[in-house]
Structure 1
Amino acid sequence: MKKVHGVCPIAPAVFHDDGSLDLEGYRRCCDAMLKGGAQALALFGIAGEYYKFDREEEEALIPVTVEVCHANDAPAVISNTRHSTESATKWAKRIEASGADCMMLLPPFFLKPGAAEITRHVEAVCDAVSIPVMFQYAPEQTGVTIPPEALANLAARHQNLNYFKIECKPPGAYISRLTELLKGKQAEIFVGNAGFQMIEGFRRGAQGVMPGPSMFDVYRKIWDALEAGNDAEAFRVHAKLNALLNHIRQNVEMIIHFEKRILQRRGLIESARCRSPQFRSDAVYDRLFDELYADLEPEFIR
């Protein structure tokens, strides 16, 4: 299995103007992202509109993702978002059979199951496969809070629970505590939440960032600067990125809307179509977006 490290964007949902899945457009976009600096891709993340696909589309997207990642010598991460433990364990085996290098696991959150049930769910899914598992901790989106001690206990019992995507607010102390608890285990932590706190996360021991898809090369520029010890460059680029993110990420559907527009503007997808229900922009949103985008645009690869 290929190790997941560094900049691992969430793969976008690519549609035609009529809302149908653009599978070949998706393939081309993912290939361009990987060639342009992304070090892995994750399918079915929240920023990738996983909740708007039907089963047939999911089945079509998985092999394309694995194929394009491996063609670029990059790991493929496939997220398991099923809410029932029975479905999630079946889907986990499907993900493993696809050749994916890692399975990300979003715990069930509809009707807010208790801690014991979530633990049983995670245990069952980890036991169902041998590939590495990444636990996604996203309490803002799911409404489910889990202490770092619980994640560390799960990792101690499951050898393949090797990654954690942390996107609570604030994430810093949580990352530090989880890093301390995981000491001695082969486990790595990724920063989520659009990478707002990726510099702090790096300083606290995170080994990667999992942002949205459209500015993968900007995140890579920041990550490379951090690894090189060039904090001044990392702060310079990150400040410009955060200015744009602060505007376009006022909720999840809003950032998905603008991520699609950035991908289209950069020539990586043909249509910026989002499936409904979706965010609807207006002239004021758009004008500020254009101004902040223009300031960040020189940081993109050519």
Structure 2
Amino acid sequence: MPLDASARGVYPIAPTPFHPDGTIDFASIDRLTDFYRGCGATGMTVLGVMGEAGKLDQAEGLAVATRYIRRAAGLPVIVGVSAPGFAAMAGLARASMEAGAAGVMIAPPNSLRTDDQIATYYRQAAEAVGADVPFVIQDYPLNFSVVMTPGVIRRIVQENASCVMLKHEDWPGLEKISALRAFQAEGSMRPISILCGNGGLFLDFECERGADGAMTGYAFPDMLVDVVRLSQAGERDAAHDLFDAHLPLLRYEQQPGVGLAVRKYLMARRGLIAADAQRRPAGSLSTAARAEIEYLLGRLARHDARAVVGTGR
């Protein structure tokens, strides 16, 4: 089914698993996909920033996306197709949709500065991938250095019928969510799905401000699923209690430069992927960092049994 504005829940940002020699670990893709489905994820996003998409050539990127899509077997998969030029973007978008993707995610190039430039870029990108391809705006100013105001997001949504979702990763960004939902309530912007990133650091209040869920890659996506479910059910204290128990580890995973190394280490410790390998250039964990992660896992295990993963590696 194609992606639409009713999307809710958790769409984990899936990593690209590698063997220690740098080749793609397709067996771990299957294992991870099965885990996402089993823990209640409502979709998946592949070839995002944390999916090391920039380290894959075009054929590898499509191979990774296709493997996730086929293994997901009906679970909606969004494919990141951001590229320096529209030809590469359109090629990957079309091939991914033909493989069964639900939609694509498009990030802005860091050269954009004005609202007109941003709106024009997304209009041209939508034309390039095709008006029949649902797309997600990736709003991540901390990484892309492109600041999208609520007004320019509304403009993109109103000018492009194929825009169905915002991946919200502004920081701080709670007021942006409130502003966008106010636009929707007053009728000046059609409804869109809003899923939030930033490793889930603000998910507890993002849901309360009107976000529909999360699209991020914390090593415990099953916790994110539970927090969103509890929040949507009105169980505010339970949602915050669970979120607060994970916050120290979640914060540790958000460190610039080594965040993906932390995440992959944790996912390997949980048995979700075979190895914590990254493609170069890559950050690495020191012996001290690994000890700190193990300490945080031990503390988390007092509150959440999912953190009980055996002795240190």
What TM-score does the superposition give when structure 1 sets the normalisation length?
0.92
Q: Does 1:207 align with 2:217?
A: no
Cα distance between partner residues in 2 of 1:273 and 1:78: 22
* Amino-acid identity (%): 24
Cα distance between partner residues in 1 of 2:299 and 2:203: 20
Instruction: Judge conservation of contact 1:36–1:217 (CA < 8 Å) in 2.
Output: yes
Cα distance between partner residues in 1 of 2:94 and 2:85: 14
Q: Structure 2 counterpart of 1:169, which letter? A: W
Cα distance between partner residues in 2 of 1:32 and 1:116: 42
Quote the residue 1:124 is aligned against: 124
Cα distance between partner residues in 2 of 1:121 and 1:91: 18
Cα distance between partner residues in 2 of 1:277 and 1:38: 30
Instruction: Judge conservation of contact 1:152–1:182 (CA < 8 Å) in 2.
Output: no
Task: Render the CA deviation track for 1:228-249: whole Å, top value 9, x for unaligned.
Answer: 2211211111112211122221
**Equivalent residues in 2 for 1:32-181 (5 A)?**
32-69=35-72, 71=73, 73-109=74-110, 111-112=111-112, 115-127=115-127, 128-181=130-183
* Structure 1 pair 215–76 and aligned structure 2 pair: CA distance change class (3 A): same
* Structure 1 pair 154–264 and aligned structure 2 pair: CA distance change class (3 A): same
Q: Structure 1 counterpart of 2:116, which letter? A: A
SS in 2 for 1:182: helix
Quote the residue 1:189 is aligned against: 194
Question: How far off its partner does 1:177 sit?
Answer: 1.0
Q: Does 1:300 align with 2:311?
A: no
Task: Render the CA deviation track for 1:29-76: whole Å, top value 9, x for unaligned.
Answer: 11222212222110111121111111121121122121122x2x4211
What TM-score does the superposition give when structure 2 sets the normalisation length?
0.89
Work out which of the residue numbers 259, 270, 275 in structure 1 matches 2:274.
270
Q: CA RMSD in A?
A: 1.9
SS in 2 for 1:136: strand
SS in 2 for 1:38: coil
Q: Which runs of 5+ in 2 are unaligned?
A: 309-313
Work out which of the residue numbers 227, 237, 257 in structure 1 matches 2:242.
237
Instruction: Judge conservation of contact 1:96–1:129 (CA < 8 Å) in 2.
Output: no
Task: Render the CA deviation track for 1:151-176: whole Å, top value 9, x for unaligned.
Answer: 10111111121100111110101111
Q: Which moved more, 1:271-280 or 1:176-185?
A: 176-185
SS in 1 for 2:219: coil
Q: Which runs of 5+ in 1 are unaligned?
A: none
Question: How many pairs does the alignment contain?
Answer: 298
* Structure 1 pair 268–202 and aligned structure 2 pair: CA distance change class (3 A): same
Work out which of the residue numbers 20, 23, 30 in structure 1 matches 2:23.
20
SS in 2 for 1:300: helix
Cα distance between partner residues in 2 of 1:226 and 1:301: 22
Question: How far off its partner does 1:97 sit?
Answer: 2.3
Instruction: Judge conservation of contact 1:89–1:124 (CA < 8 Å) in 2.
Output: no
